[in-house]
């Protein structure tokens, strides 16, 4: 059965952790938009060179570049079921993906929003310190973190309204340990008519 999922939330909400668990349980390919970008940068590709300053400053990479990188990757998956974390970050990206999947006669199954307060994320960062930080990331300074939060705050409402109206959006309370969050997400996925 086709199953194509998306998971989004503020920076530091734990979406990659959940995406990995979901991918394992439902046998999905896991794509992380942020990681795809970091891979391009590490490879020194033209895409990576273009994306680097946006990432380092906690700004959104322009949609055209995001689509080029993501679609190239999806094309290698051969219509395998997937979960993408960190996408869509703006409504335009969500609409683009809907269109892309529709053309391929594949479903946009569900957009999972991991809702975590800024206070909780700040507390996690303070508690975990360097453990929380991925050493391979160059965007963990306070300015970039604040910028990412601002872009998230600006993007989430239009995304929520659009996909909620289509019954494709679920809110999950992410201010909890990993296991109950995962259980709630599985519950939502299991209820999908697939
Ligand atoms: P993440 O690993 O999800 O925290 O993403 C790291 C950075 O990659 C973000 O701060 C953005 O600069 C960029 N990025 C990731 N996903 C997207 C996206 N869907 N649209 C635009 N920029 C993105």
What tens digit of pLDDT does each residue of 56-109 get?
A: 999 999 999 999 999 999 999 988 999 999 999 999 999 999 999 999 999 999
What is the mean predicted confidence (pLDDT) over 8-21? 95
Q: How far is the CA of 78 from the centre of ligand 1 (A)?
A: 24
Cα 82-83-88 angle, rounded to 5 deg: 120
Question: What whole-number distance in Å separates Cα of residue 96 and Cα of residue 80?
Answer: 19
Instruction: Give me the residue label for tokens 């998306």.
Output: 6
Residue 135 binned pLDDT confidence (cut-offs 50, 70, 90): low
Q: Is the pLDDT of residue 137 over 90?
A: no
Q: What percent of the chain has pLDDT over 90?
A: 83
Rounded mean pLDDT of the chain? 94
Return the residue whose CA atom lies nearest to atom 15 of ligand 1: 34
Smallest CA separation from ligand 1 atom 6, residue: 34
Listed residue (177, 135, 126, 156) closest to 10, CA to CA:
156
- pLDDT value for 186: 98
At 37 the pLDDT is 97
Taken in order of first residue, the domains within the chain and their CATH numbers are: 4-32+81-193 (3.40.50.300)
From the CA of 147, give the closest atom in ligand 1: 10
Residue found by looking up tokens 């360097």 in the block: 130
Are the CB atoms for 81 and 27 separated by under 8 Å? yes
Query: Distance, CA 60 to ligand 1 centroid (Å)?
Result: 6
Atom of ligand 1 nearest to the CA of 54: 12
Q: Determine the distance from the C-alpha atom of residue 122 to the mean position of all C-alpha atoms in its chain, rounded to a whole number.
A: 19
Distance between Cα 1 and ligand 1 center (Å):
29
Distance 100 CA to ligand 1 centre (A): 20
86 alpha carbon – ligand 1 mean position (Å): 6
Q: How confident is the model at residue 132 (pLDDT cuts 50, 70, 90)?
A: low
Q: What is the mean pLDDT of residues 24-49?
A: 97
pLDDT of residue 138: 84
Contact status, residue 164 vs residue 91, Cβ threshold 8 Å: no
């Amino acid at each position: 059965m086709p199953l194509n999922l998306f998971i989004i939330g503020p920076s530091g909400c734990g979406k990659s952790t959940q995406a990995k668990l979901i991918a394992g349980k439902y046998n999905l390919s896991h794509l992380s938009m942020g990681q795809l970008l970091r891979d391009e940068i590490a490879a020194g590709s033209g895409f990576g060179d273009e994306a680097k300053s946006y990432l380092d400053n906690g700004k959104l990479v322009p949609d055209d570049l995001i689509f080029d990188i993501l679609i190239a990757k999806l094309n290698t998956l051969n219509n395998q079921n997937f979960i993408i974390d960190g996408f869509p970050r703006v409504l335009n990206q969500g609409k683009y993906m809907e269109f892309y999947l529709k053309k391929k006669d594949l479903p946009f199954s569900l957009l999972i929003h991991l809702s975590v307060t800024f206070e909780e994320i700040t507390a996690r960062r303070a508690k975990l310190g360097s453990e929380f930080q991925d050493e391979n990331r160059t965007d963990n300074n306070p300015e970039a973190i604040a910028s990412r939060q601002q872009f998230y705050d600006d993007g989430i409402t239009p995304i929520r309204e659009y996909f909620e109206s289509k019954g494709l959006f679920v809110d999950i309370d992410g201010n909890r340990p990993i296991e109950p969050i995962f259980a709630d997400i599985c519950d939502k996925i299991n209820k999908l008519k697939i």
